[in-house]
Amino acid sequence: MPIRTAEEYIQSLRGRNMKVYLFGELVKEPVDHPMIKPSINAVAETYALAERDGEMATAKSSITGLQVNRFLHIAESADDLVNQNKMQRKLGQLTGTCFQRCVGMDALNSLYSVTFEIDEKYKTNYHKRLTDFIKMIQQENYVIGGAMTDPKGDRSKAPHQQEDPDVFLHVVEKNDKGIFVTGAKAHQTGCINSHWIIVMPTMRLLEGDKDYAVVGAMPADAPGITYIYGRQSCDTRSMEEDDIDAGNAKFAGQEALIVFDRVFIPWDKVFMFGEYEFAAMLVERFTCYHRRSYVCKTGLGDVLIGAAASIADYNGVPDVSHVRDKLVEMTHLNETIYATGIASSSQAHRTKSGVWLNDDMLANVTKHNVTRFPYEIGRLAQDIAGGLVVTLPSAKDLNNPTTGPILKKYLRGRKGVDVENRVRILRLIENMTLGRNAVGYLTESMHGAGSPQAQRIQIARQMQLGYKKKLAKNLANVKENPENDQEQSDYFQRVFKMK
């Protein structure tokens, strides 16, 4: 039966034979672990939103003819991409954290065009295999985890040059039924909460890297997969009886290291096998989608701006000019991220496969803004909140018969504000800027979908300086040898290592 509701999604994760390690111990049932449960709740909210608001969170698929969750939809227009962004912002507002499905959505869309073009060159049948896979997951309404980032080992060496070949996922055996892969994928968002995992190359590959040029799908509980859960700041607060100190007790993100030990992928789930020259295309198209997907952080920004405005009100200074100015600045930065993401989606074009791809330059500008602006928004939130963000006594002290009355006397804000409510807002700000969900709002903003330098390289490649110089020289009526422009352009390309 297809998954329809948030509760059905949670139940679908039970009883799987998954090897998940947390704090050095094998977790018996991940669904019931108090530190994992908030991340499951965040994914469940993607189902709940689809139930409540089908226009925002679902789309009509031409592949199956079904109304499907937008995270499983192949973009058939620029409007589809814009609607993805609107959904992402809304879910950020609802959860205040990473809801873990954007990687899978962007992997499906990038693979849709890349497999089409591999087939076009080599007469393979990857695109049909992928389409059949998409039909199945749309019908069942599954969660797809995308696994791209390898541990990488020595960054100065290509995958096939590494001392330990397993630091990049690679094919170790093939037979008439399929292939076996070994290696690892790091920082894997929502992987334990997914039904299927799609593995992909992480970088441009050389001819010697053919064994690393592999894309395939496998159940998240496939034999040979081990998950080692990633720690997050203040994560054990979710295991405490009182929910106050958690800040956001219901929702959290999730990352883990996935280790693959001869994991089998049947041929019908293999979507690239040795076509190393297409790895760069896949990575670039995936990052194009995924970098504009970071408009999700504007939903979290909305929550943090709301928390900052609330604590200013609780402190009795909502209309003080410098506080209002900081809230304006926070909003300006947040909307700038959203504007570039929406612009990237709006400027999409149709690929040969029929899937629409957003504008790459604007996608990289979006993500580059995300590597900076949330940090400033977080700093301003802490500025408005004051030092209690890092010096609040615990909920146990607040509820203690001896210390509780003392704290309620001295932690008061303006008249009429309940002390516990003030504490809860302060804990939320701590949670999003220093605590567990600072991972989803800050660190992920820096390194997810590539580091800042990765975006700067792509922006540099697309600056069109030659064209822009011609515009300037035309208006200034400059007369010079056209070869001079070409020499300068060649020099610039060498400086930025584009050749």
pLDDT in tens, 241-276: 999 999 999 999 999 999 999 999 999 999 999 999
Q: What is the pLDDT of residue 238?
A: 95
407 contacts 397 by C-beta, under 8 angstroms: yes
Can you name the residues that pair with 256 across neighbouring β-strands? 188, 229
pLDDT tens per residue, range 288-308: 999 999 999 999 999 999 999
Same domain assignment for residues 186 and 334: no
Q: What is the pLDDT of residue 73?
A: 98
pLDDT tens per residue, range 72-106: 999 999 999 999 999 999 999 999 999 999 999 99
Same domain assignment for residues 443 and 480: no
Q: What is the pLDDT of residue 495?
A: 54
> Annotated catalytic sites, by residue?
98, 102, 189, 255, 290, 294, 296, 444
Residue 316, by phi and psi: left (phi above 0), alpha (psi -120 to 50) or beta? Answer: left
Residue 183, by phi and psi: left (phi above 0), alpha (psi -120 to 50) or beta? Answer: left
Q: What is the pLDDT of residue 499?
A: 39
Same domain assignment for residues 329 and 251: no
108 contacts 70 by C-beta, under 8 angstroms: no
Same domain assignment for residues 106 and 210: yes
Same domain assignment for residues 303 and 247: no
What would the mean pLDDT of 31-41 be, rounded to a whole number? 98
Structural domain containing residue 479: 463-495
Q: What is the pLDDT of residue 313?
A: 98
Q: Quick check: pTM over 0.85?
A: yes
Q: What is the pLDDT of residue 1?
A: 86
265 contacts 216 by C-beta, under 8 angstroms: yes
Nearest to 372 by CA among 302, 430, 310, 294: 294
What is the tally of structural domains in the chain? 3
Count the helices and strands in the chain (H runs, E runs). 20, 14
* Domain CATH for 95: 2.40.110.10
- Judge whether residue 57 has pLDDT over 50: yes
Surface-to-core class of residue 158, CB atoms within 10 Å of its CB (0-12 exposed, 13-18 middle, 19+ buried) = middle
Residue 286 belongs to a domain:
no
- Judge whether residue 113 has pLDDT over 70: yes
245 contacts 253 by C-beta, under 8 angstroms: no
Same domain assignment for residues 262 and 126: yes
Surface-to-core class of residue 195, CB atoms within 10 Å of its CB (0-12 exposed, 13-18 middle, 19+ buried) = buried
Q: What is the pLDDT of residue 489?
A: 60
Q: Give the CA radius of gyration of the chain.
A: 24
Same domain assignment for residues 320 and 238: no
- Judge whether residue 62 has pLDDT over 70: yes
Same domain assignment for residues 250 and 304: no
Residue 282 belongs to a domain:
no
Residue 288 belongs to a domain:
no
Strand pairing category for 170-174 and 58-60: unpaired
Helix, strand or coil, per DSSP, at residue 59: strand
* Domain CATH for 326: 1.20.140.10
Same domain assignment for residues 263 and 316: no
Q: What is the pLDDT of residue 488?
A: 60
pLDDT tens per residue, range 307-343: 999 999 999 999 999 999 999 999 999 999 999 999 9
Residue 285 belongs to a domain:
no
334 contacts 432 by C-beta, under 8 angstroms: no
What would the mean pLDDT of 219-241 be, rounded to a whole number? 97
DSSP 151-187: --SSTTS-GGG-SSGGGS-EEEEE-SSEEEEEEEEEE
Residue 360 belongs to a domain:
yes
Residue 431 belongs to a domain:
yes
Same domain assignment for residues 45 and 78: yes
pLDDT tens per residue, range 151-206: 999 999 999 999 999 999 999 999 999 999 999 999 999 999 999 999 999 999 99
Residue 280 belongs to a domain:
no
The CA-atom distances, in angstroms, between 382 and each of 84, 95, 323, 398 are 31, 20, 12, 22
Residue 284 belongs to a domain:
no
Q: What is the pLDDT of residue 484?
A: 66
Q: What is the pLDDT of residue 481?
A: 80
Surface-to-core class of residue 79, CB atoms within 10 Å of its CB (0-12 exposed, 13-18 middle, 19+ buried) = middle
- Judge whether residue 498 has pLDDT over 60: no
Q: What is the pLDDT of residue 485?
A: 59
What would the mean pLDDT of 392-420 be, rounded to a whole number? 98
Same domain assignment for residues 101 and 237: yes
What would the mean pLDDT of 40-65 be, rounded to a whole number? 98
Same domain assignment for residues 157 and 251: yes
Which of 224, 249, 275 finishes a domain? 275
Determine the distance from the C-alpha atom of residue 87 to the mean position of all C-alpha atoms in its chain, rounded to a whole number: 14
